[in-house]
Structure 1
Amino acid sequence: MTATVSLEPNEAPARRTPWLSGVAIFVAVMTPLLAYLAPLGFAPLLALAGLLALPGLRLTRAAAPPLLILVALALWAAVSMSWSPFAVELSKLKGYGDIESVTALKLFLQLATYGAAVVALRGLSDAGAQRAGTVLAYGMTVLAAVAALDSLTGAAIYQKLHQATGQAIRPDVAMVKVSLSTYILALLFWPAALVLSRLWRPGLIWLMAVGTLVTSVICSSDACIVALAAGGLVWLLVYFAGQTAAKVLVGLVAAPFVLAPLAVLMGVQTGVVAWLHRLVPASWDARLNIWTFAADHIQAHPFRGWGLDASRTFGPAIPLHTHNAQLQLWLELGAIGAALAGVFFCWLAYGVVRLSQRSRTEAAMAAAALVGYLVIGGLSFGVWQEWWLGLGALTLIACGLARAFDEPQWTSLDELAPLG
């Protein structure tokens, strides 16, 4: 049974896309380099990719729903600036640095550029997608190996590279820099693994998996370990249970956007949070304090929120952001913002449901990547960080590239899986 899926590559008659292929290969080459050397560079990389891909951009009806949801979210975020304690007076915006600090403006620019990159590269020819996907998969394998080796040597490689540029770096800071590569590896592991499996390179999949886990453990990237574990569990469920598991995934994705504040408040009232305080290490103990403070303050403005970037105004209680995407959305944009973001991610999850009718391996990949992004976002980064949003766009692109590869005829795993 074949179904048309909103996230599927263009199924129109094959066309040559040399320019888009070049853009995709450029992104694939730069991804492991930036992941290791400068993760914040994913913001300009995806913005540049979007601008370069504009000549090949073809808007489709399937792209309209997610784009409209994100436009609505950006508009609501901009409106919330009118009551946000972090609001910036427009009359004071004089230089680029001032304008760059306006999150609402950046959201529209990122939506335009990142969105253009995702939508345009969906129109890649299969041949172009396969070339870029192959480069990306091998690049992620090399990244995993280098990151693991560097973490085992105390970031010696990273330190030598810095010394070569005339800028020394402390060993502990170098280890933190190396640890950032694990977040990219955790997200792109699943599309890269699918590409390698369809190129029949199982050894490289294991190398990438071991390298990612070793680096995550040594660098204490706990969120990545949790994301990989959750992604692996979801991969197994979707692969073996098919559409049934994919439908359950939609509800699991929706739940945190609806229940996050209530879950924290119930945890406080029942003593679960106090019990966790006695068990977890310092970094997680700090998170519990932040989440408790955020959930308590959400009650003051549950519908509209405190306003965009309000998380930055609570002093030591919330250092920059809540370290939980759903709580940050509730705190800053209220129920409206949380609902819009939840609808977007549920739309992605529902795409997995439809994709499971065509290929369980591809659906499992998409589900694992989606869960990985949500888990890391729920434990580590701020919602509006440019490089993190860029990684979300890159993950969508990578999943699209992976799906251009045909299932090997001699080992069709989908046919061996039990019917869902």
Structure 2
Amino acid sequence: MSASRTAAAPRDLLAAWCGWVLIGAAVLVAPFGWLWPLGFSGLMSLVGLLCLPAVRIDDRDRPAAMILFAGLIWAAVSTTWSPYHPTKPANNSILKLAFELPLYWSAISAARRADPVLRTRALHILAYGCALFGLVLLEEGLTRGVAYKALHAVYGPIRDDLAESNDGHTTQVLGLLWPLAALSGPRRLRPWLALAMAAGTGAAALAFGYDAPVLSLFLAPIVALLVWRWPRGAPKLLALAAAVLFLAMPFGIWAVRHFFDYEAIRADLPKTDSMRMGYWSHAIDWIKLRPLQGWGLEASRMFGPGIILHPHNNPLQIWLELGAVGAVTAAAFWGVVLSRLSRPAPSLAAAATAASACVYLLFGVNFGVWQEWWLALGALVALLAVANAAQEKAL
């Protein structure tokens, strides 16, 4: 009997350790989301590093893990023909991706391995923190960022227009997380937590001119309702749509440019959207020249002035840099992870996960696909999805 207790102790200690690490991370999600979104890469890496003993690849994880590993290998190979050559480790995307993949996987594994009581506590802390984040954003939207500007006046003065832009940028963090964050709270409080998060996201996004978070407030509930109403078929339909998005994006842009007056459409749009359409047009011209293998990882940085840094469109960037091989890999990954949400019966965890995943795809037209903080937020969504699924299964 004593021998069996001794053998079980390390497993119990690991579960407790993972739970406490998740609690620490949960405390920081809301402050990072508002004041330092770029810090999410460090936060998720630290969680993964601290929980490395919890790393597991189960049978259900193996397809996604194999696709990610294959994509990493292809990205590494593509650096041999990429015109972009990083001069220091901080600019070396393949080096960072090689560390991020195992560390983020470790963080997600910790959510599954954590002690259930501590995991529940971590989820509740995150839910309350994100609700408070929503209330802060509500105040910021109504006052044009008074609190954010006041904080910066103390530790680093910043122009009012930049402060408002940064404040608006944070709405994309809460706009992504709120479906899973609200579900993470106590059952009776979930509607009120969701209301606080959604109201803050919408108010600040409208005040500071960010359209995507406003769209996400409509997209997320629609997707969640579809997955709740048709738990078996809707995730598979979403998986197909995501795969088509990554495979067909260049052809869609080409069709708009070929059959419509592309420049007239650009002229009628706000400046940022017009610039983005310009990047897309240049991107498909470069894709046509090397459609199979692409131009290599981070090659987008070398195509200025037509493209500044990246095309601001995740599918187009993958096509441009990694070619059709990369696009097929991305389509396969999203197809696998979304189709895995299929259930025989309605599941709130599956519905919320699908909602945040689709918002992630929506926001992908604003960011570079390799940005560390954006990949870290994707890992955080996966962590919350695993944690909420585990909680739901335990009930």
Shorter-chain TM range is over 0.9
Q: Report the Cα distance in structure 2 between the residues aligned to 1:213 and 1:283, rounded to whole angstroms.
A: 20
Unaligned runs of 5+ in 1: 1-13, 410-420
Post-superposition offset of 1:78: 1.1
1:294 is the counterpart of 2:283: yes
Partner residue of 1:132 out of 99, 109, 122: 122
1:246–1:349 contact (8 Å) kept in structure 2: yes
1:84–1:309 contact (8 Å) kept in structure 2: yes
Task: Indicate the residue corresponding to 1:262 in structure 2.
Answer: 251
Post-superposition offset of 1:357: 2.0
Task: Indicate the residue corresponding to 1:332 in structure 2.
Answer: 321
Partner residue of 2:153 out of 163, 169, 174: 163
Cα deviations across residues 49-73 of structure 1 (Å, max 9, x unaligned)? 1001113334423332222211111
Cα deviations across residues 161-180 of structure 1 (Å, max 9, x unaligned)? 12222x21111111112122
Task: Indicate the residue corresponding to 2:3 in structure 1.
Answer: none
Alignment of 1:83-122 (within 5 A): 83-88=81-86, 98-122=88-112
1:42–1:387 contact (8 Å) kept in structure 2: yes
Aligned residues: 384
Alignment of 1:216-365 (within 5 A): 216-271=205-260, 273-353=262-342, 356-365=343-352
Partner residue of 2:34 out of 36, 56, 65: 36
Percent sequence identity is: 36
Post-superposition offset of 1:225: 1.9
Task: Indicate the residue corresponding to 1:61 in structure 2.
Answer: 59
Partner residue of 2:25 out of 9, 27, 49: 27
What SS is found at the alignment partner of 1:243?
coil
Cα deviations across residues 391-411 of structure 1 (Å, max 9, x unaligned)? 0000111122233445999xx
User: Structure 2 vs 1, CA of residues 258 and 201 (structure 1 numbering), >3 Å: closer, same or farther?
Assistant: closer
1:130–1:404 contact (8 Å) kept in structure 2: no
Q: What one-letter code is carried by the residue in structure 1 that aligns with 2:362? A: V
Post-superposition offset of 1:272: 5.5
Specify which structure has the bigger relative contact order, considering alpha-carbon pairs within 8 angstroms and separated by 6 or more residues.
Answer: 1
User: Structure 2 vs 1, CA of residues 406 and 334 (structure 1 numbering), >3 Å: closer, same or farther?
Assistant: closer
Deviates more, 1:325-334 or 1:285-294: 285-294
1:395 is the counterpart of 2:381: yes
Q: What one-letter code is carried by the residue in structure 2 that aligns with 1:148? A: L
Return the TM-score normalized by structure 1: 0.87
Task: Indicate the residue corresponding to 1:149 in structure 2.
Answer: 139
1:151–1:175 contact (8 Å) kept in structure 2: no
Unaligned runs of 5+ in 2: 1-10
Q: Report the Cα distance in structure 2 between the residues aligned to 1:83 and 1:390, rounded to whole angstroms.
A: 27
2:353–2:381 contact (8 Å) kept in structure 1: no
Q: What one-letter code is carried by the residue in structure 2 that aligns with 1:400? A: V
Partner residue of 2:50 out of 31, 52, 59: 52
What SS is found at the alignment partner of 2:383?
helix
User: Structure 2 vs 1, CA of residues 131 and 197 (structure 1 numbering), >3 Å: closer, same or farther?
Assistant: closer
Q: Report the Cα distance in structure 2 between the residues aligned to 1:133 and 1:276, rounded to whole angstroms.
A: 44
Task: Indicate the residue corresponding to 2:357 in structure 1.
Answer: 370
Q: What one-letter code is carried by the residue in structure 2 that aligns with 1:87? A: H
Cα deviations across residues 280-336 of structure 1 (Å, max 9, x unaligned)? 211111111111110121000000001111100011211111110000000000000
Task: Indicate the residue corresponding to 1:192 in structure 2.
Answer: 181
Q: Which structure's residues are more often helix, by fraction?
A: 2
Q: Report the Cα distance in structure 1 between the residues aligned to 2:324 and 2:237, rounded to whole angstroms.
A: 23
Cα-Cα RMSD = 2.0
Q: Report the Cα distance in structure 1 between the residues aligned to 2:109 and 2:393, rounded to whole angstroms.
A: 24
